Amino acid sequence: MIVAGLHDDPPGPGTVLWADIDHEHDMMSTRMLGFWLYMLSDSLIFAALFAAYAVLSYPTSFMGGPTPRDVASPLYGYAETVVLFTSVFAYGMVMVKLRHDLPRAAIGWLLVSFLIGAFFIGMETHELRDVALAGGPPQRSGFLSIFWCVVVAHGVHLLFGLLWMLVMVAQIARDGFTQLVTYRLANLKVYWLYQGLIWTFVYTFVYLRGSI
Amino acid sequence: MTEVQQHWDPIFGRLTLSQVPYDNLIVCFAFFFAATLGLVILGALTYYRKWGYFWREWLTTIDHKRIGIMYAVVGTVMLFRGFVDAIMMRTQQVMAAGPASPGYLGAEHGYLPPYHYDQIYGSHGTIMLIFAATPLLAGFMNFLVPLQIGARDMAFPYINALAFWLTAVGAALTMLSLFVGDFSHAGWVGLAPLTELPYSPDVGVDYWSWAIQIGSVGTTLGAVNIITTIIKMRAPGMTWMRLPLFTWTSLTTNVIGLTAFPVLGVAIGLLSLDRYFDTHFYTTGMGGNFMLYTDLFWIWGHPEVYFIILPSWGIMSEIIPTFSQKKLFGYPVMVAATLSIGCISWTVWLHHFFTMGAGPIVNGFYSVATMLVAIPTGVKVFDWALTMVRGRVTFPTPMLWAVSAIFMQIIGGWTGMMLAIPAINYMTHNGVFVIAHFHCVVMVTVFAVIGGTTFWFPKVFGFTLHETSGKWVFWLLVGGTFIVFTAMFILGLTGMPRRLAYVPYASWWPILAIEELGVFVDIAALGAFIYQMWVSIRDRELNKAGRDPWGTSRSLEWMTHSPVPAYNFAVIPHVNARDEWAWRRDYRLHHVMPNEFKDIELPVNTPVPMFIGICSAAFGFAMIWRIWWLAIVSLVAMIAIVCLRSFGGSTGTTIPADEVRRLERLAARPSMRSRPETAIPEGVVVLGGGDAR
């Protein structure tokens, strides 16, 4: 028999009718899988936004206003990339401290990751303010609408990640590395790394492609 | 923030008393009906002192079976509302055919002014697809999937409850639009740029968008839960190739739900940005592109069609083998067909607008992709037919529904293949031929849902539905449906456009009258259904069901008691065959009960999902009426509740083994009682051996 279950055997010696133990499902892997599935749906949000960006980044959508080259500076974007991935790296250190069972050090790295992440948000806010002041608010043209939308959608994701970090700081401080805290830290790792990944797409599509 | 043209103040936003359409006779009647029904229910809860029970057992439950039933109740209420919309549309068209047709209630022709009529077809489509079909099928999936895979509960019971409450809030907002403000007049698809603020200055489009937005967050969360449940929670021995077909279709459908609904969220979210922040995603000027909306919407919209149809096929695939007393023909092929339809569903969306002018190459690609769907669908039809061949086929009500659903599927599928040809599409685009086609397809879902309801009703409530009146429902609804849509196909070939509040040609009146006749037959079917429910509930003591009331059913859910106890299975079964229950019956093992019980851990009830639901309702309402302070307060409250809940540990409750034994004895009927002396083949382990997986 190649595929188990493709043919049904008659009952015989060794056939078991009821599971003896209430078979334990691995809570950690179940919850991680659920979170990965959520991340998949989140990817689709960004996929749709990037598709919209592709549609609305032609000259017909500029309406004589700022073009991608005017609003996105690849060098500033590069600095932002470095900052965000430093935060992702700091979060990686949280996971190292988790493995070594050092809650206080983990809290320290969480705060480092939080502060660098918050600095990224600050850089982004500064950049968007400049764009708005230079005559590029989202209401100016179809292109600027989607430019703001993509960047802000990513930023809002980061804000929720930052909030999540603060919650985890409190939970590690209160409970230590319990099973619940551990899987939440693992999921936040996926989330934070994923936001970095999305940023690489934003940087490639919006900043690099826009500067050509 | 965009300035709205009408009145706005900081406390109540756009909400004024004049937004309540008390001058509209039809809406007043609907309000009177809904208020009476609501008061009767609230009064009954108070009179019978059931508030505590209602709170403990329903509002705060995270039991997948209870949540499934609540989904079904929401779906049924919305199905009724959508049906009333349909009756109103048919009646308007038959009354408003030809320039000589008289007008009533302030309408020039018929009894509905165009703006009111437009809202009705908008709400009919939105309700039927998103707030009737989707919750009804979610109800089936919630109730059945854990039972079919031999699990005690879902992977995420709390998320599951949250998903339900968000869906219910979406439905509630849609209903609220009837009495406060108005609903979208731009069709259920939200035709851009008609939905933009300059062309739709009222709150109708906002009701539509926020109801869908909140409801679809629920659907996405539900999808995460069900996919994880199927992957992670299967009983020992339940290999992939033993999964019941309904579970397979649930898996596929939720993969579609997980990946398609976020795109809908983006499509409608960008529209909301246009309406609230004056951006230019879909505007006609200022660099917007309204075909972007159409594309994004249908990238969700077409997978959504399969989201609705796949579980229906799953239901049919459970009913047909049961009443053919034969295993499902071609099970692996059925699984492959299900998965391939799930994949193809993503590649066909452009066939909804062949007339956009994308050019022959693009149209050709989507035309061929659409035709590909016919292959796995045809496989399914043949598999159902071949399941019946040389089986011992009987025709109780569920089987009647399943078989008629196959016929409906063939009609809907054939006409779909016609529409897949762009040349034909240029003739039929925006015509009622398309309407007749997709109604035949969604009728497959209706038939399967009613058949499935009859089939699993004893499992859910512990008594069977009245059979004779069930057959009346069947013949009336099938008859009415065929009358309505045959006539509609003819009108479609004659060239009648869809969404007409006034039909210009009097010569179409006779066919419209035939459609109206069909609608009356459908109303009679609704009457028969209410009668069936009344008789069944009245005679429930006479119709008590055992574990397996049909006697020939095949999958795991029939192994446990009816109604299903809170813990689903006293002892988790060890699966040995694809149709485990049929396998045990064939080898005379179906009387063997577990002889040893253990403590059972169950998740404890929580009102948190309902609180989040209430906050999301307040948020949706505030956004619709532009009451900014309330929107901010409810959004912050929602985030705070989620954060605070995470500080509570995971809580569970334990049912001790003695209690399980007592409940099992209580539930076992005389004929089902454990008789270990009845010839258990040598060597078979009733209990023990542990997890073989």
Domain ranges of chain A: 27-56+89-211
Q: What pLDDT score does B375 carry? A: 95
CA distance B60 to B41: 18
- Which of B153, B154, B224, B282 is most worth mutating to test chain A (most A CB atoms within 10 A of its CB)? B224
CA distance A54 to A52: 5
pLDDT band at B18 (very low <50, low <70, confident <90, very high): confident
Contact A47 B263 (CB under 8 A): yes
| CATH architecture label of A27-56+89-211 | Up-down Bundle (1.20)
Q: What percent of chain B has pLDDT over 90?
A: 82
Query: Which residue bears the tokens 């919630």?
Result: B142
Cα-based distances in Å from B401 to A85, B313, B323, B472: 58, 12, 12, 12
How many Å is the maximal CA-CA distance in chain B?
A: 84
Q: What percent of chain B has pLDDT over 70?
A: 96
Report yes or no: B296 at the A interface, CB cutoff 8 Å: yes
CA distance A104 to A86: 20
Measure CA of the first residue to CA of the last residue in chain A; give whole Å.
Answer: 59
Query: Which residue bears the tokens 């809030």?
Result: B169
Contact B224 A139 (CB under 8 A): no
**Residue B405 to chain A, least CA–CA distance (Å):** 28
CB A83 within 8 A of CB A123: yes
Q: What is the ipTM of this complex?
A: 0.94
Q: What pLDDT score does A210 carry? A: 82
Report yes or no: A44 at the B interface, CB cutoff 8 Å: yes
Average pLDDT over residues B502-522: 96
Q: What pLDDT score does A101 carry? A: 95
Q: What pLDDT score does B676 carry? A: 46
Q: What pLDDT score does B692 carry? A: 35
pLDDT band at B680 (very low <50, low <70, confident <90, very high): low
- Which of A28, A32, A41 is most worth mutating to test chain B (most B CB atoms within 10 A of its CB)? A41
Q: Of B559, B557, B662, which Cα lies nearest the Cα of B65?
A: B557
pLDDT band at B690 (very low <50, low <70, confident <90, very high): very low
Average pLDDT over residues B388-397: 95
CA distance B451 to A180: 42
CA distance B5 to B598: 67
CB B490 within 8 A of CB B445: no
Average pLDDT over residues B614-624: 97
Report the residue of chain A nearest B299, measured CA to CA.
A48
Contact B639 A29 (CB under 8 A): no
Q: What pLDDT score does B689 carry? A: 40
| pLDDT score of B7 more than 90 | no
Q: What pLDDT score does B357 carry? A: 85
pLDDT band at B294 (very low <50, low <70, confident <90, very high): very high
CB B137 within 8 A of CB B312: yes
Write the residue in A19, A44, A48 that is nearest to B235 by C-beta: A19
**Residue B588 to chain A, least CA–CA distance (Å):** 10
Q: What pLDDT score does B601 carry? A: 86
Q: What pLDDT score does A27 carry? A: 84
**pLDDT digits 0-9 by tens, A10-64:** 888 888 888 876 556 688 899 999 999 999 999 999 999 999 999 999 999 999 9
| pLDDT score of B438 more than 80 | yes
User: φ, ψ for residue B327 (rounded to 5)?
Assistant: -70, 160
The burial class, CB within 10 Å (0-12 / 13-18 / 19+), for A100 is: exposed
The burial class, CB within 10 Å (0-12 / 13-18 / 19+), for A36 is: middle
Question: Which residues in chain B are contacts of A184 at CB distance < 8 A?
Answer: 646
Q: What pLDDT score does B687 carry? A: 57
Q: What pLDDT score does B596 carry? A: 83
Q: What pLDDT score does A212 carry? A: 75
Write the residue in A11, A45, A163 that is nearest to B266 by C-beta: A45
Q: What pLDDT score does B21 carry? A: 84
Cα-only R_g, chain A: 23
**pLDDT digits 0-9 by tens, B35-69:** 899 999 999 999 999 999 999 899 999 999 999 99
Q: Of B77, B145, B670, which Cα lies nearest the Cα of B456?
A: B145
Contact B684 A61 (CB under 8 A): no
Per-residue burial over B521-550, b = 16 or more CB atoms within 10 Å of its CB, e = otherwise: bbebbbebbeebeebbeeeeeebebbbbbb
Six-digit token string for A176: 């230590």
How many residue pairs bridge chain A and chain B with CB atoms within 8 Å of each other?
207
Contact B576 A17 (CB under 8 A): yes
Cα-based distances in Å from B623 to B18, B190, B627, B629: 19, 18, 6, 10
Q: What pLDDT score does B668 carry? A: 72
B246 contact partners, CB below 8 Å, separation of at least 6: B140, B144, B145, B148, B311, B314, B315, B317, B318, B555
Ranges of residues in chain A whose predicted pLDDT is under 70: 1-7, 21-25
| pLDDT score of B356 more than 80 | yes
Cα-based distances in Å from B430 to B39, B353, B354, B492: 42, 9, 11, 10
| pLDDT score of B671 more than 90 | no
CB B93 within 8 A of CB B86: no
**pLDDT digits 0-9 by tens, B131-163:** 999 999 999 999 999 999 999 999 999 999 999
Q: What pLDDT score does B556 carry? A: 94
- Which of A32, A44, A53, A172 is most worth mutating to test chain B (most B CB atoms within 10 A of its CB)? A44
The sign one gets for the Cα dihedral B135, B139, B140, B142 is positive
Contact B266 A56 (CB under 8 A): no
Six-digit token string for A209: 């492609």
**pLDDT digits 0-9 by tens, B72-105:** 999 999 999 999 999 999 999 999 999 999 999 9
Report yes or no: A56 at the B interface, CB cutoff 8 Å: yes
Average pLDDT over residues B193-197: 94
B window 178-207, beta carbon within 8 A of A: none
**pLDDT mean across residues, chain B:** 92
Average pLDDT over residues B366-395: 95
Cα-based distances in Å from B476 to A181, B404, B519, B525: 57, 13, 10, 5
Q: What pLDDT score does A168 carry? A: 97
